[in-house]
Structure 1
Amino acid sequence: MVTALPPTLRRLPVRQLLPLVPLVLVAAWAAGNWPVMASGFVRLRGADPAWLVAAGILTVACWLPVCLLRQGTVLEPLPAGRLFASQVAAGSANHLLPAGLGAHVVTLRFLRSCGISAPRACAALALYSLAQPIGRYALLIVLMAASPDASALGGLLPAERGVLALFLLVTVGAVGAALLWCVRPLRAFVQDLLSTALTDARALHTRPARALALWCGAVGFPALQAAVMVAVARALQLPVPALDVALAYLAATVVAGIVPTPGGIGSVEAALLLALVGVGSPVTEATAAVLGFRLITVWLPLLPGALVLASLVRRKVI
């Protein structure tokens, strides 16, 4: 026999409580890794505050290319203020689900509230998901060509792990292809989505302003994030050239993407630590730099992001 929920529980504002989930998850992760974090925070006490302030300013600026990239995926002009607020909220929601799904859900609801149909909103998310890694890989290739120490990152993903990652990717691709072949409704949905996405992509690239927003945003976001990493490294006086620090960040985020944890928590820290050590940073300083970078780019923006997310949900903007 199922007992009915009390009226107080039935009235529980679940939608209003969801924005608090990322804060709880990050707090739990921090508590589980407190000894490592404590040692890093001790090292951060001696950091140059001017460089840390610069890193904070660059972190806020990172939302601008994301907004450009989102605008570049749709033909309709989006309201600038609500677009910026939605991306601040998406940064918090990104810690709810892996592979950026939390941010995509927030953006999907925002696009729908702007009058964009569901198929075209999904196509915009698909284009975003395609343009973002292309911009990151392009920037990584340019920095690898410019850095004489690029080979030092070879240990970031050992050969056996590289083979395992390739095997996993092929397996996931094969399973996805089998599902598309066997499940007719899913195949029809994907075909419609791809058709809409290709139509919109062609239309967007006939408009220089949209194409510029799309690709400037795709390159600008990882470039600014790499600049934040460089600023934190300078604050801690890491004995590593700025170019190599930026290269280490980009390579680490590419490798961390193989393990799509919510917000990259855990996978980004591990990959970034290995990358910084690979380009010549001592382990202690590299640990402090990783903690400082994640503190500024992830943990500190969580509270304002959760507040904005709660406000948008309450106003039914998303």
Structure 2
Amino acid sequence: MRLVTVGLTPHRLEFLPATKELMADHDAIVLEEPPEPDFQAVLKGEISVEKYLENVEAGFPEYTKKSLELLKAFYAEGKQICQVEPYLERWLIIRSMLDSGIPREEVCTIQDLSPVYEAEHETFGKLLDYYAAMQGDFDVLVQKIKAFAKADARRISLRDKMRAKELVSLVRKFSPHAKIYVEAGYIHIKLVYYLAGQKKNLFRLRVENLLLRAVKAHGLHGVLPSPGDGLTSYYLFGGRHRKIPEDLLAARSIVYIKLIEKEELKPTEEEPFPHLRNELFWRLFVSKLSYEDCKSLDKFIRILPTKKAREVAKRLFPEAYQYAKVQLSTALASGGW
């Protein structure tokens, strides 16, 4: 029977070695991105990676570049590689139509596009509401980020449902004993849920969460997800699987996003997981803050750059800072990080 492995991973350089190891054990690789006209030409070496990157929107350019180089090598070995992301594919079509002057009302009448348009319209609207509230009261900001997380969860669920359906159709085309690797961002747990509901006797389903694997390999167990992801996951699964109150998760997410590193970091031999280490530290830090603590901290750091915000957080909540430092250091020492 066919094997479908879903690799849940952050799209970051530090996770490429583990991703490479998983991909190498499969016959085909399905990427989490809409089809690009020049993608196959890049794999064949007809277009350079650098030239290709000039024409695509890469949120993490270094990751995308290294990933493409890895995929070129796998393609040369005979692996099949394709891009499957029907939601984003439709969103690109919608953007192109709107940019060309086609009225929104007309786009909304197209049955294949309207659900994607509505999901994007709602989510972006809630995001704008959140940004507009950033000049005001913290309690209002908490409600706005909850509204955004709810809309985002609905969007993610639709995206995963659409992708699962297309993946099942694709899997049918492979030989009965093929091994297929499906790339997915770590927040797309619902994709696994939808695939499990459709697999029947078509394929065996395996899930590899590379983020959890890295955390456990370095001595940390039961670490909370980022507050924002935790809040989104809460809504993705109908308010289940979460003991922390919504408002507290939302409050923590507001300060957490101010404290973590935003720039793309390159792993080194001395620091193989720079992003993960940074984020785990601040997750541990905010896990010790109450709602009122977050409200108090936000008042001082909301308009500060990241470096200054961290200094203020350390000064105002030294016990939480020391807790995070001790917990992370102890775990990393025992895990051999």
What is the TM-score of this pair, normalised by structure 1? 0.30
Q: If each structure's strand is expressed as a fraction of its own residues, which one has the higher value?
A: 2
Which of the pair has the greater relative contact order for Cα pairs under 8 Å at 6+ separation?
1
Q: If each structure's helix is expressed as a fraction of its own residues, which one has the higher value?
A: 1
